[in-house]
Structure 1
Amino acid sequence: MKTGLIIRHVPHEGIAGFREPVESAGYALERIDVEDPAFGGIDLTEPDLLIMMGGPMGVYEQDRHPWIACQLKRLARRLAADRPTLGVCFGAQMIAAALGAPVYPGPAKEVGFHPLRVIDAASPLRHLANVDVLHWHGDTFDLPDDVELLASTPAYPHQAFRRGANILALQFHAEMGLDPRFEAWIDQWPEALAEAGSDAATMRARHAECGPAAVAAGRRMMAEWLAGLTV
């Protein structure tokens, strides 16, 4: 059986709706939190699939989170070997940084269920066309060299990219929409809701309205990406 490792940067940002297509593709999943004392000793090139999820920290906050620099070094080795890697939100920003691109605060918080502009309709992201998916971020990045831009929004032009078949970075959360841990997001980041002109009641209503379709589309996207991996 193929191995998959989930790196979780905060407890309430897990693999959520992506678990089903990943396990259906034959991966036995394990998870490690960055605060686990064993995290620093793990060889990130070893798993057949590496999945890095989100978190409220910034890639540039290495003084506050020393594990970021350690993770970036090991991630860069994995990417150089073209090992299958998925990054979501903060995980996508880590991929961009490991490929040499700067990561920095964006123009405003992008929070809520909004559609993507799918740039590459031949990519697995075609499943997300005209689907409202969850955005919850305030950072962005320049595109690394030798990658393909896959999706955009008006506020954040760099919403997704891939490098070849094996490296996929998603700034948004197509895995979220059915996970009860969404309540922890609302509780932890009320200031992000306020800055985006929203509130808890609105987000709960949008989650109920858009969540099931977003997760279904995200699962179709993930299944197609996994089927196209070359190693």
Structure 2
Amino acid sequence: MLQSLRKTLPADDRPVLIVLHQEHSTPGRVGHMLEAKGYRLDVRRPAMGQRLPETMADHAGAVIFGGPMSANDQDDFIKYEIDWINVPLSENSPYLGICLGAQMLVKTLGGRVAGHHEGLTEIGWYPLQATEEGEKLLEWPKMVYQFHREGFDLPDGATLLARGDAYENQAFRVGENAWGIQFHGELTRVMMHRWVVRGAHRFELPGAQTGDKHLEGRFLHDAPLKNWMSGMLDMVFKPREI
């Protein structure tokens, strides 16, 4: 009875820093989940000229999301964000990079971000396999949603947590508090519909799936991905029970 009445509170009352890359982007389901877990959100967009904090002292951690740009682009805000990731790394503050955010973490750590050697993309739903180290942490979904044309080498000192077929490195951990995932667990239904419409020109790329497969796959595979995303956020931001 007592177990069923337990609630969770965030580890502290500081907001989570949310870094987005387009004017109308949102943190989607990740934002909803963090707020449900008791966190406030501090949303910033360096691509729109907003600066990031010089220290994580006033934040519980950071999440850098994806975007249509590349971590190899020479835009000032891309280079700025890659350099800024040293702030949470040096302060051992929780950091989660999703897609572009993971690739930026790899670049910060001196790793390589590049396209597939055969030109393949992952745009749609693709199989995922947890490594032995990953299985110790969470129950992972068997299929995940992807929308990328580049992947990354595993940086020095990183632990691989999950792998895929075309792009092997799908999730990794560095140190105690830095995490990167190549796939997307943050999409709401509305977001996925928007991506399918706006990204339709990419469905002809090698390895990409047509839009109907994106939407069909959501009905088949999204529930385990949603549960995993919630568990991942709990692990990164370490809520406490009362």
TM-score class normalised by the smaller sequence: 0.7 to 0.9
Q: Give % identity.
A: 24
Alignment check: 8 A CA contact 2:18 2:63 kept:
yes
Alignment check: 8 A CA contact 2:97 2:180 kept:
yes
* Of 190, 193, 197, the match for 1:187: 197
Q: For 2:55 and 2:124, locate their aligned partners in 1 and report how far apart those are by CA, in whole Å.
A: 32
Instruction: Describe the SS at the equivalent of 1:6.
Output: strand
Q: Which residue of 1 aligns with 2:31?
A: 19
Q: Which residue of 2 aligns with 1:174?
A: 185
Matching of residue 49 in structure 1 with residue 84 in structure 2: no
- State the TM-score, normalized to the length of structure 2: 0.82
Q: For 1:51 and 1:180, locate their aligned partners in 2 and report how far apart those are by CA, in whole Å.
A: 21
CA displacement at 1:59 relative to structure 2: 0.9
Deviations 1:184-214 (A, max 9, x none): 2112222322223422222222223322332
Question: Larger C-alpha radius of gyration, 1 or 2?
Answer: 2
Alignment check: 8 A CA contact 1:12 1:185 kept:
no
CA displacement at 1:106 relative to structure 2: 2.4
Q: Aligned runs of 1:45-194 on 2, under 5 Å?
A: 45-46=56-57, 47-62=59-74, 65-107=75-117, 108-119=120-131, 120-124=133-137, 126-130=138-142, 132-176=143-187, 178-194=188-204
Compared CA separation, residues 143 and 150, structure 1 to 2 (3 A): same
Q: For 1:5 and 1:197, locate their aligned partners in 2 and report how far apart those are by CA, in whole Å.
A: 32
Aligned residues: 223
Aligned residue type for 1:92: A
CA displacement at 1:58 relative to structure 2: 0.7
Instruction: Describe the SS at the equivalent of 1:91.
Output: helix
Compared CA separation, residues 157 and 222, structure 1 to 2 (3 A): same
Alignment check: 8 A CA contact 2:144 2:183 kept:
yes
